[in-house]
Amino acid sequence: MYVLIYFVMTGIALAVYLNMPPYQPRERDYVFVASFYFYFIWVALGAVAIWDFLRKRVSPNLAAIGAGVLCFLVVPLNMVAEEWDDHDRGNRYVPLAFGSNYLESCDSNAVLFTNGDNDTYPLWYAQEVEGIRDDIRIINLSLLNTDWYINQMRRPINDADSIHMTMFPKQYIQGTRDYATYYDQHGLKIDKNRRQELKDLLAFIASNKKQTKVGLANGELLDFYPTKKVKITVDKAAVIKNEVVTPDKYDQIVDEISWTIRKGTLMKADLVVLDVIATNAQNGWKRPIYWAITTGTDAYINLMPYLQMEGLTYRLVPLKKSDVMPKEDVGTVNTTIMEENVMEKFTWGGLDTEEDMWIDFVMMRQCKNFRNVFTRLSKAMYIESQLLQNRSVNAPNFETDNTAVGDLEERAVAVLDKGLEAIPERHVPYDYQMERYSNMYYALGEIDKAYELDQRIAKYLIQDIAWYKSMLSDKEMRQEANYFLGLNEQAMQRMIRNAKQNGKDVSEWQEAIK
């Protein structure tokens, strides 16, 4: 009876109590691990019961052997036969490859901000076990809200230098400056509409002076920042000396990085990130600073116009995004660096082989996201080729280098080809996002490749559209089904438009979206 109570309380009752939402980043069976222990008490009692049954008919020793063999055949062997293919990690080294690719996307001695488990643990493993790029200092933003982790970051590890910042431990110890809030009714002689140097703003927040605090009704003093408009004055000579940007971009280096902090509250992690950035700028931009592309826009503290994509990372650079670049894209792309990383340095952990491989839903989602890296690079190359051609239109004395234009477009096509090879359909089935691939092929003049790819994509979209339509009658699923139905139909409509413009048959596709 006690075992039953414990089993229910650590299993079924816990599931009801937690009431976990359906969308989780990974399986949460470890939450119920205590119930497994109690369940196996029953398993053990069952094994004893089998032994007791057999020993009445044969010798105790033979009964023990028989009970053991029978339990092995009924339980573990049956589990292996039924579940092995769903849990076999053979030939799969994708997490290591992706972790290595994040690291290879960084320049030497870099600081790399990551956010969750999937863009941190593989990187740690790659560094600590495989010895890959241990000169990179990985900083997990989720842990950066704790003082002990900040203290760790202030010590060197392996070949990675410590982080440099102005705040001392007593200024960020737990319970101190856990957050700072924007407050503009401070009465100080600070023009909130005038941009303030980031280092001065951080010094204000880190100060213990009374005028840097807001008094609450309960007597508590609250840390605040008086303006959201900040800037970092750029030392162009230091930027050039430390090769922060490539020589062809020297004339584009800005005098200052100016932006507005959109957040109404800066957490301790945000303060540390800003401190690292400000200190690095003060020290002459000696250390490259990156964010993993999977950290999300909230982690960039609205610095997106000054981010440069170089692979699976964005690098902070004193270059502002041009107005001709797509507004929906984060930052810009350094096509030269990113092409070298993607085409020469990146590995794919077996995805690009014919070996059988089990891909779980988490890895499937990551692979589909990383496909966007290829389309982003290809699109950036295409835009550069278009800009070269447009210069001859806007500047009559400028002669277009057709060889350079053709070379860019050929390399853009090669990037798309590499993407299809690196993350193939046989391991990661296509979905509506793959329409971006075919759209780029069309833009680059590869009509046959685009249409052939669209035909393969369409097979999945037709099935998905039919599935989501069938779910519209379910009240609980209707909203989600409508959302994904719209995404799939929009992708199909773009495919139809592109194919029709190039004289291709789309009758079957049109039928699917009627």
Reported as a pLDDT band with limits 50, 70 and 90, residue 401 is: low
Cα distance between residue 269 and residue 143, in whole Å: 8
**Model's pTM, two decimal places?**
0.88
CB-based burial, 423-440: b 16+ in 10 Å, e otherwise: bbeebbbbbbebbbbbbb
Percent of the chain's residues with pLDDT above 70: 97
Cα distance between residue 12 and residue 32, in whole Å: 9
395 Ramachandran zone, left/alpha/beta (phi>0; psi -120 to 50)? beta
- pLDDT at residue 186, rounded to an integer: 72
- pLDDT at residue 22, rounded to an integer: 75
Cα distance between residue 485 and residue 470, in whole Å: 10
Cα distance between residue 481 and residue 477, in whole Å: 6
- pLDDT at residue 393, rounded to an integer: 43
| CB-based contacts of 370-374 (< 8 A; 24+ apart in sequence) | 370/98, 370/312, 370/423, 371/419, 371/423, 371/428, 371/433, 371/434, 371/437, 372/433, 372/436, 373/293, 373/311, 373/312, 373/342, 373/419, 374/342, 374/415, 374/416, 374/418, 374/419, 374/422, 374/437
- pLDDT at residue 357, rounded to an integer: 85
- Mean local confidence (pLDDT), 26-40: 87
Q: Tell me the sheet residues that pair with 112.
A: 138, 290
| Summary mean pLDDT of the chain | 91
- Does the structure show a pLDDT above 80 at 249? yes
Among candidate residues 358, 291, 297, 367, the one with its CA nearest the CA of residue 89: 358
- pLDDT at residue 100, rounded to an integer: 96
Strands of 213-215's sheet in order across: 213-215, 221-225, 179-182, 265-267
- Which pLDDT tens digit goes with each residue over 348-358? 999 998 888 88
- Mean local confidence (pLDDT), 98-119: 94
Which range among 155-159, 289-293, 396-400, 445-449 shows the weakest confidence by mean pLDDT? Answer: 396-400
Helix (H) or strand (E) holding 139: strand 137-140
Q: Which residue has the higher pLDDT, 44 or 280?
A: 280
Cα distance between residue 439 and residue 270, in whole Å: 38
- pLDDT at residue 395, rounded to an integer: 46
CB atoms within 10 A of CB 168: 10
Joined together, the tokens standing for residue 138 give 């990985």
- pLDDT at residue 338, rounded to an integer: 97
- How far is CA 466 from each of CA 111, 470, 471, 488, rounded to the nearest angstrom? 47, 6, 9, 10
Q: Which residue has the higher pLDDT, 279 or 360?
A: 279
- Does the structure show a pLDDT above 50 at 139? yes
- pLDDT at residue 400, rounded to an integer: 60
- pLDDT at residue 378, rounded to an integer: 96
Cα distance between residue 64 and residue 48, in whole Å: 9
Which range among 194-198, 298-302, 380-384, 396-400 shows the weakest confidence by mean pLDDT? Answer: 396-400
- Mean local confidence (pLDDT), 243-262: 94
Helix (H) or strand (E) holding 503: none
Helix (H) or strand (E) holding 310: none
Sequence spans of domains, the chain: 2-87, 94-343, 358-429, 447-514
β-pairing verdict for 265-267 and 256-260: unpaired
Helices (H) and strands (E) in the chain, counts: 19, 13
Residues 6+ apart with CB under 8 A from 375: 416, 419, 436, 437, 440
- Does the structure show a pLDDT above 50 at 267? yes
Is 321:332 a contact under the CB 8 Å cutoff?
Answer: yes
Q: Which residue has the higher pLDDT, 489 or 399?
A: 489
- Mean local confidence (pLDDT), 167-171: 94
Is 261:270 a contact under the CB 8 Å cutoff?
Answer: no
- Does the structure show a pLDDT above 80 at 514? no
- Mean local confidence (pLDDT), 355-383: 90
Q: Which residue has the higher pLDDT, 314 or 389?
A: 314
β-pairing verdict for 111-114 and 137-140: parallel
Q: Which residue has the higher pLDDT, 129 or 55?
A: 129
State the Cα torsion 12-16-19-22 to the nearest 10°.
50
- Does the structure show a pLDDT above 80 at 297? yes
- Strand, coil or helix: what is 401? coil
Is 153:163 a contact under the CB 8 Å cutoff?
Answer: yes
- Which pLDDT tens digit goes with each residue over 200-227? 999 999 999 888 888 887 878 889 999 9
Cα distance between residue 12 and residue 23, in whole Å: 19
Reported as a pLDDT band with limits 50, 70 and 90, residue 440 is: very high
Percent of the chain's residues with pLDDT above 90: 67
- Strand, coil or helix: what is 481? helix
- pLDDT at residue 97, rounded to an integer: 95
- Mean local confidence (pLDDT), 56-68: 88
- Residue 157 DSSP class: B
CB-based burial, 197-231: b 16+ in 10 Å, e otherwise: bbbebbebbbeeeeebbeeeeeeeeebbbbbbebb
- Does the structure show a pLDDT above 60 at 399? no
Cα distance between residue 324 and residue 400, in whole Å: 19
- pLDDT at residue 69, rounded to an integer: 87
Q: Tell me the sheet residues that pair with 138.
A: 112
